[in-house]
Amino acid sequence: MPAKTQTPDHLLHHLLARLADSLDALPLDTKLASDEPALVSLLLSLPRLPTCAPQIDGRQFQFTRGHGTEIQAGYGCAAEWKSDGPERLDRLAKIATRLHPGWHRADPDQTGFDAFAMLGFAASADAAPHIEDHLPNAILWVPEIGLRIKEGDAVLVLSARLPTARPALMSAWTAALERLVPSLYLPLPGPLMPATLQRDFAEPDFGGWSTLIDDALAEIHGGGLEKVVLSRRLDVTGPRSFDLGRLVGALGCLFPSCQIINLRRNGKSFVAATPERLLARQGSGLKVDAIAGTAPRAESTERDAELSKGLLSCDKNLREHRCVVDAIVEALSDCCDDIAAPPRPRVMQLTNAQHLWSPIEAAPRADANLFRLAERLHPTPATNGQPRERAREWLRVGEPFERGWYTGAAGIVEPDLSGELWVLLRCARVCADRAELYAGAGIVAGSNALSEWDETEAKLQAMLTALQYA
């Protein structure tokens, strides 16, 4: 039967048969030293391209861009490691390094794909107060079933800890496939009629925001800071429970060039539509996005072009952007060679805003894996400020709420410790009919409270618009 006419039942039967055929070849009795992690992953080609990465009950993560043409998603948990504190990424890096030689991957269908894990961490390394539904401070998470879609091909990645018994593994993976596969081919949920959202709580209000701006400018004029990024939180309620599938779909339609992220644990989702890649470490190359400096969009082509031109010539925005570029170059200088930053930024245009953007490239040294690079780069002045430690301490005292995972980072880690991480921006924490939204703006000499408030309103509108249709 041609793949395009196969029903989900036929595809499930095919996958279970391939699973049974492949299981005997896996090293299921592998046992390392007691403190050494060992995993097994089996990659199975999907002969029919899924319609979506579905939202199902339980823990899951999803990274989607390009109208769903590139998806990396994970369901359930084969293994995970949590960490917090100043050494959180170093500890996770040591686990991932020990895991690499003990991660057995089988690709009987010769898909060319590989297994993967999700790495994510909050804005601050300080352990957050315990909240029942809160994400851990930092996590390295290998899903029980992973889904990868790229360039018209798709694969499922089944993973488990070793050692394990064949009957138990067959039973667990069969149950997981039976839960997931039918949902891969459901019709994409369309947007609902737009709903009116109620603004319940804002922190700070405009008065508090103005005071924060004045305090920040005083610190900048006194020479203590060059830049600091201030944030706002907005809580809204909808007339119905938000549908996460529709929310992700709406964000993908509204912001096709952004990475759409959904991290779901303990009944809540942390959702982001971010334009900013913290880093991409692939092979011998490294790419980092420097994004800072913002202008609105306009309906007319002529006015939009004027705003772009003005952004490229605005002294305040250019200084803010140069601060980020210089900090990234400095952070990479002791672990990379051939660092190349463009002499002038270009404009990145999104649906609701346009930003100054400088793509920076470098050649990482041999010991500069994704974890070490993330530690060097995060947080950049685009989300924190400069100098880094002084800005971080100023925000710890001055900002009226804990950011949690907003301005943290999340992404995909390959078994060889390469991968890609994205800064968590344009965010919302969603549960049932409630959502907590976050947005921020960079403050430098020349900033004023009203224009920075308007900038955060435009950034909040990105998620607000999508939530209306979910």
Asked whether the predicted pLDDT for residue 54 surpasses 80, the reply is: yes
Phi (first) and psi of residue 104, to 5 degrees: -90, 120
Instruction: Band the pLDDT of 417: cuts 50, 70, 90.
Output: very high
CA 394, CA 329: separation in Å to the nearest integer? 23
Whole-angstrom Cα Rg for the chain: 23
- Strands 346-349 and 419-423, by their bridges, are unpaired
Q: Are 123 and 404 in contact (CB under 8 A)?
A: yes
CA distance 102 to 100: 5
| Catalytic center residues | 227, 276
3-state SS assignment for residue 266: coil
pLDDT per position as a tens digit, 111-125: 999 999 999 999 999
* Residue 406 pLDDT grade (very low, low, confident, very high; cuts 50, 70, 90): very high
Residue type, 267: G
On the question of pLDDT at 271 being above 80, the answer is yes
For range 63-78, the mean pLDDT: 93
pLDDT computed for residue 352 by the predictor: 85
% of the chain beyond a pLDDT of 70: 97
Summarize the confidence of residues 364-390 as an average pLDDT.
94
Report phi then psi at 78, rounded to 5.
-85, -35
Kindly indicate the confidence band of residue 188, based on its pLDDT and cuts at 50, 70 and 90: confident
pLDDT for residue 274 is more than 90: yes
Residue 133 predicted with pLDDT over 90: no
- The tokens for 58 are 């339980």
Domains located in the chain, CATH noted: 3-184 (no CATH), 198-468 (3.60.120.10)
For residues 286-302, give the mean pLDDT: 94
**Mean pLDDT (whole number) for 294-310:** 94
**Buried b vs exposed e over 99-127: b needs ≥16 C-beta within 10 Å?**
beebbbbbbebebebbbbbbbbbbbbbee
Amino acid identity, residue 165? A
> Are the C-beta atoms of residues 423 and 223 closer than 8 Å to each other?
no
The pTM assigned to this predicted structure is 0.94
Sign, CA torsion 374/375/376/381: positive
> What is the mean pLDDT of the segment spanning 374-383?
95
Residue 4 confidence class, pLDDT cut points 50, 70, 90: low
329 touches 360 (CB < 8 A)? yes
Determine the pLDDT at residue 190. 83
What pLDDT digit, counting tens, does each position of 421-439 carry?
999 999 999 999 999 999 9
